[in-house]
């Protein structure tokens, strides 16, 4: 049966009304989500609307971590965060990664109380970051320390000889691209790497001495790469 013109007009009007109310309903839901987010997260850099203590986990191998740096900065700028717990469980990582997080924690500690909570392990760069806090809390059997710097590289020259592979190179200077895994290191190359390691090591020792309120001699006595239990660390 054919529809009359009036019926078509009525249907179109009904569709327009339904579309209008659907848009209104979606808008109300969106406003509700925004209001709920504001209630939970507030409007000051993602913080809660109530005063609280923030807890940040630092786990695994430490590298340059822009997301973590940004999170620490957000916490520092939040007026609702009154203190911070750094939960650390890390065997260490890169010196640059440890340095960048250490510096951000020091900025944070200048504005808010910061405590490092050691889980199973806070060694090397993990201990460096813990040292940036105002206090370090560890279990009796937690592992801390390993103050030092390490560079490792393989020597596959023996394997190349067995396979009959020979490396040829042309360099601008003797220490360019050294050390190389394709040939044994010589005295000059080892001396260059050692200078690099000692520079970073001295910086690490100075951090420990400053943050743990020791003399440099006291820090050096502990900075032989040794690891300690939490009980030994207190002593």
What is the model's pLDDT at position 235?
A: 87
Residue 167 lies in a domain: no
176 falls within a domain? no
DSSP for 11-70 reads: HHHHHHHHHHHHHHHHHHHHHHHHHHHHHHH-SSTT--SS-EEEEEEEESSB---HHHHH
- Does 172 fall in a domain? no
pTM of the model: 0.76
- Can you list the positions of beta strands (E) in 35-171? 52-59, 81-90, 114-123, 135-138, 143-145
Q: Which is nearest to 127 in space by CA: 136, 215, 196, 234?
A: 136
Is 11 inside a domain boundary? no
Nearest to 19 by CA among 31, 7, 30, 11: 11
In a domain? residue 28: no
The domain containing residue 214 runs over which residues? 53-152+183-234
216 neighbors 207 (Cβ within 8 angstroms):
no
Classify residue 34: in a domain, yes or no: no
Q: What is the CATH number of the domain that holds 221?
A: 3.90.226.10
Query: Cα(223)–Cα(192) distance, rounded to whole angstroms?
Result: 21
Give me the pLDDT at residue 46, please: 47
For residue 45, the model assigns a pLDDT of 44
**In this structure, is residue 125 part of a structural domain?**
yes
Paired with 108 in beta bridges are none
Q: Catalytic residue positions? A: 124, 176
Quote the longest CA-to-CA distance of the chain. 101
The structural domain count of the chain equals 1
In a domain, 225, yes or no: yes
10-residue averages of pLDDT along the chain (235 residues): 56 71 76 61 55 95 95 95 96 95 97 96 96 96 95 90 89 90 91 94 96 94 95 91
Beta bridge partners, 88, equal 58, 118
């Amino acid at each position: 049966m054919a529809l009359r013109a009036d019926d078509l007009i009525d249907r179109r009007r009904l569709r327009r009304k339904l579309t209008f109310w659907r848009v209104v309903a979606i808008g109300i839901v969106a406003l509700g989500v925004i209001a709920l987010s504001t209630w939970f997260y507030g409007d000051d850099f993602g913080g809660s609307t109530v005063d609280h203590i923030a807890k940040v986990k630092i786990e695994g191998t430490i590298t340059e971590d822009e997301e973590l740096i940004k999170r620490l900065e957000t916490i520092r700028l939040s007026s609702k965060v009154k203190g911070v717990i750094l939960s650390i469980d890390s065997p260490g990582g890169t010196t640059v990664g440890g340095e960048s997080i250490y510096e951000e924690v020091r900025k944070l500690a200048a504005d808010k109380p910061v405590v490092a909570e050691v889980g199973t392990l806070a060694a090397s760069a993990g201990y460096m970051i813990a040292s940036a806090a105002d206090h370090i809390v560890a279990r009796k059997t937690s592992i801390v320390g390993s103050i030092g710097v390490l560079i490792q590289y393989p020597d596959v020259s023996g394997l190349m000889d067995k396979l009959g592979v020979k490396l040829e190179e042309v360099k601008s200077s003797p220490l360019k691209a050294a050390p190389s895994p394709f040939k044994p290191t010589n005295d000059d190359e080892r001396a260059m790497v050692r200078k690099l390691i000692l520079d970073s090591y001295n910086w690490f020792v100075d951090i420990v001495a400053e943050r743990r309120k020791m003399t440099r001699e006291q820090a050096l006595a502990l900075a032989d790469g040794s690891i300690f239990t939490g009980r030994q660390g207190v002593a």
